[in-house]
Structure 1
């Protein structure tokens, strides 16, 4: 059996190497270029990279839509309904291959990380006691693009890649803090909030770290199997358990048509985002996706202001400029040999 598979593997490797670096002229040179250039990396399709970047746009609508759903259905019931409807959408559009084909290590570790991320983020937001803490916890969660960029650089095995990624990561992270925190962000107050109620911040940071690991490690572990739909449905089950244990029950007032529209839109935003991201991770360029993920909080803040009727101040636009600048710095360093 192994003797029959090896020639096929060599043929696939030959094709991928030429696709990744056609300008190199030889298979050996293409393989060398891809191993030293993380932007070429394991990319097999530019279209898949674009699909992965579409997740950033879809996730951008998540925060505002979740707020609208929570107002209509309650926090715990709303979350359970969002992931249930989203799970049904994924089962229709992205029905997974037979589970027996999935590597057990990927199903176990990938599934645990996916569910742990969602649980940590949900709990961190729920444990925030004030609006200011909610903003601060969101900022901690939005460290995941920075962590993902640094982890991707480390996994690229390119000499000095992490050091070169740091300047852009720092600039972009400051931009995220300004864009999301805006004029309400106060460093001294934030330190006091962390000291008085550290658990939500620890959970948010753990979630950011877990997601960065998941996004950077699972593509190689999956062997091409996409378990996003399975993992998403597992989150739905967990959220129903949390809702039933919370004792919140049904909403006091029957939600209007607007609540159901928001529920469908939110489920599409979150489930569609995960589907696009999963496809992009498996078949696209991971470092490009990592750098592009800096835009997630920008889209999130902008869409929330539109959905919730909040004006954008000057700190937001300064933050956008810094995020763009940090991303360009990362791209410039990544393209250098």
Structure 2
């Protein structure tokens, strides 16, 4: 019976990973249908409403204050930077580069954990992290090969989006490490989604983005995106209760591959061989980091 229950929760986790893999494409699509800030504000509003319907209306008093303040600021900052970096990219191809930069967060999380830990770590951690960064550089450089001049030239085309994507990866790494210590096992994801939506609406109010024009297609895409993001978080929360965490942790490191594959089909993007090679390097670097640190921690 316990095996069946664990399988159910593990399935929830796998479903969450697959749902999250569609987020990049959906956010980019809605930024084109509406606007970068306005589209993101509506996505997180729909997700927040959906989470409240599924998980209930959260009560602030049930959460540690430090977790709400520190965790909330980190979460909102991450989501805003990620959504805007995808929406403000000059093209769909560049949006894919933003997504891959964001997937540096697993390697950065492990690096931050290593820095903060006093324990000895496997020496393979450092080349693995370097491998993940090399993958991002490979994606951005394209078929011309990795070169500092080429990287700087491509980044100078839209520096603010590259900065936001990389900053988002750093912030999420910090969030993963910090909230584990201060959350006391609580999950305020619904509150954090509400705060993210409010922040984006405030930014939209002070922006010069155009007003919304709703069509049947854009409305359905908006509802689909909001429900998918909300469902992903809700399922992952359930998966953490009784799923196979080792399997789910390993599978989560393949999200860049799933995300790139889905986005290339959904957004009709033809990605170069070098881009796919970069995606694989990012995935392998993060996965090796996870495996060697887990192997070191196991004894």
Report the TM-score range of the alignment, normalised by the length of the smaller protein: 0.7 to 0.9
TM-score (norm. length: structure 1)? 0.71
Gap runs ≥5 in structure 1: 1-44
State whether residues 103 and 223 of structure 1, in contact with CA within 8 Å, keep that contact through their aligned partners in structure 2.
Answer: yes
Question: Pick from 177, 185, 202: which aligns with 1:224?
Answer: 185
For residues 1-337 of structure 1, the aligned pairs below 5 Å read 51-52=12-13, 54-95=15-56, 97-125=58-86, 128=89, 134-154=95-115, 158-161=119-122, 163-175=123-135, 178=138, 183=143, 187=147, 188-194=149-155, 198-251=159-212, 253-255=213-215, 257-277=216-236, 292-319=251-278, 321-323=280-282, 325-326=284-285, 329-333=288-292, 334-336=294-296, 337=299
Cα distance in 2 for residues equivalent to 1:184 and 1:254? 41
CA contact (8 A) 1:133 1:193 kept: no
Alpha-carbon distance in structure 2 between the residues aligned to 1:74 and 1:238: 15
> Greater Rg, structure 1 or structure 2?
1
Q: 1:173 to 1:46 in 2, by over 3 A?
A: farther
Q: Kindly tell me: are residues 211 and 299 of structure 1, through their superposed partners in 2, closer, same or farther at Cα, counting changes over 3 Å?
A: same
- CA root-mean-square deviation: 3.6
CA contact (8 A) 1:226 1:279 kept: no
CA shift in 2, pair 1:313/1:307, >3 Å = same
Q: Is contact 2:12–2:239 with CA below 8 Å preserved after alignment?
A: yes
| Gap runs ≥5 in structure 2 | 1-5
Q: Tell me how far apart the structure 2 counterparts of residues 264 and 230 of structure 1 sit (CA, whole Å).
A: 19
Deviation of 1:131 after TM superposition, in Å, equals 6.4
Query: Partners in 2 of 1:213 and 1:125 — Cα distance?
Result: 21
